Homo-oligomer: A and B are copies of this chain.
Amino acid sequence: MVDLELDMRARIGRLELAKPVMTASGTFGFGEEYRSLVDLGALGAIVTKGISLRPRAGNPAPRIAETPCGMLNAVGLENPGLEAFLRDKLPGLREMGPAVVVNILGDTLEDYAALARALDGAGGVDALEVNISCPNVERGGLAFGTDPALAAEVAAAVRESTRLPVLVKLTPDVTDIAAVARAVAATGVDGLVCINTLRGMAIDPLSGRPRLGKVIGGLSGPAIRPVALRAVFEVAREVDTAVVGVGGIGCWQDAVEFLRAGAVAVQVGCATFRDPSAAVMVLRGLEDFLKGLGVRSCSQLVGAVEL
């Protein structure tokens, strides 16, 4: 048997990744936090923490609560803002090896467009991920992501403001995610990222205080994996646009589930908090699995579910 090279490339519209595994926004900082701990070069892409036009301080503590097989967060998009990002974070990110995907969040349509324009000219950015699904901010975020028409408007605004590939990140907290996906896909974006966190809450039974300063936050982790997988499956069958899977992925078996459900690539989120090398381990395990299957390219697994 000739040992053909396994092709791990993932094509997300105009964005081509060397590997189909990325870090998820907000769970890997700007890469530098994990430099000494993770073989960064192995990853397909690093997706940054969400960036807004101006710096944001985020929500009051506590911002984190543990839940069964997962966690709630209400960070509230604390970030240094566009300018400091370009100055302090982007140069380091560029050198790390993986593609650089910048997650952006605005309060208004114009914010999104302005972020897209600025990042277009920045150099060293490989794609934008448009966050219209963050449950932790007052304006923007989720409000855009729950309405197909508004979601499409944001997508179109970003699309028209940059030559960079554009991914749009969807919320599962809607009646019909396929409807949002169709509307966004119609704007010609390069990829749909499913899913952001689910809105959730926890209360300390003894004190009666909510476990998050902001009361309601976003649920992530293995707990939400079945919801994320269903979302990927539903969206992938509805649109031709590439789908990226995220939600509770922590090992290669999880990644295989998402690829089979129709994702062309996956993101590893809060699994990194348990084990910083989670994303790299997902990738290595996936490679071994594909070699064992004897397929030539990772893309052959995409959509391979036996219905």
Distance A205 CA – B200 CA, assembled complex (angstroms): 28
**Which of the residues B175, B203, B229 comes within 8 Å of A229, measured between beta carbons?**
B203
Main secondary structure of the interface of A (DSSP, over half): mixed
Q: Mark A176-189, 1 if CB is under 8 A from B, else 0.
A: 10000000000000
Chain B, Cβ-Cβ closest to A180: B175
Copies in the complex: 2
Contact yes or no, A207 B174, CB < 8 A: no
* Shortest beta-carbon distance from A237 to chain B in Å: 11
State whether the Cβ of A265 lies closer than 8 Å to any Cβ in chain B. Answer: no
Q: Mark A155-175, 1 if CB is under 8 A from B, else 0.
A: 000000000000000000111
State whether the Cβ of A113 lies closer than 8 Å to any Cβ in chain B. Answer: no
Contact yes or no, B205 A256, CB < 8 A: yes
**Which of the residues B67, B208, B260 comes within 8 Å of A225, measured between beta carbons?**
B67
**A306 — which chain B residues lie within 8 A by C-beta?**
207-210
State whether the Cβ of A122 lies closer than 8 Å to any Cβ in chain B. Answer: no
Distance A203 CA – B236 CA, assembled complex (angstroms): 15
Distance A296 CA – B297 CA, assembled complex (angstroms): 67
Q: Which of A267-307 contact B (CB under 8 A)?
A: 289, 304-307
State whether the Cβ of A261 lies closer than 8 Å to any Cβ in chain B. Answer: yes
Distance A67 CA – B225 CA, assembled complex (angstroms): 8
**Which of the residues B174, B205, B230 comes within 8 Å of A175, measured between beta carbons?**
B174
**A118 — which chain B residues lie within 8 A by C-beta?**
none
Which residues of A are in contact with B by a Cβ distance under 8 Å?
Answer: 67-70, 72, 146, 173-176, 198-203, 205-210, 215-216, 219, 221-227, 229-230, 233, 248, 252-254, 256-257, 260-261, 289, 304-307
Contact yes or no, B205 A260, CB < 8 A: yes
Distance A67 CA – B247 CA, assembled complex (angstroms): 13
Contact yes or no, A72 B208, CB < 8 A: no
**A200 — which chain B residues lie within 8 A by C-beta?**
226-227, 229-230
Contact yes or no, B68 A223, CB < 8 A: yes
Distance A221 CA – B174 CA, assembled complex (angstroms): 21
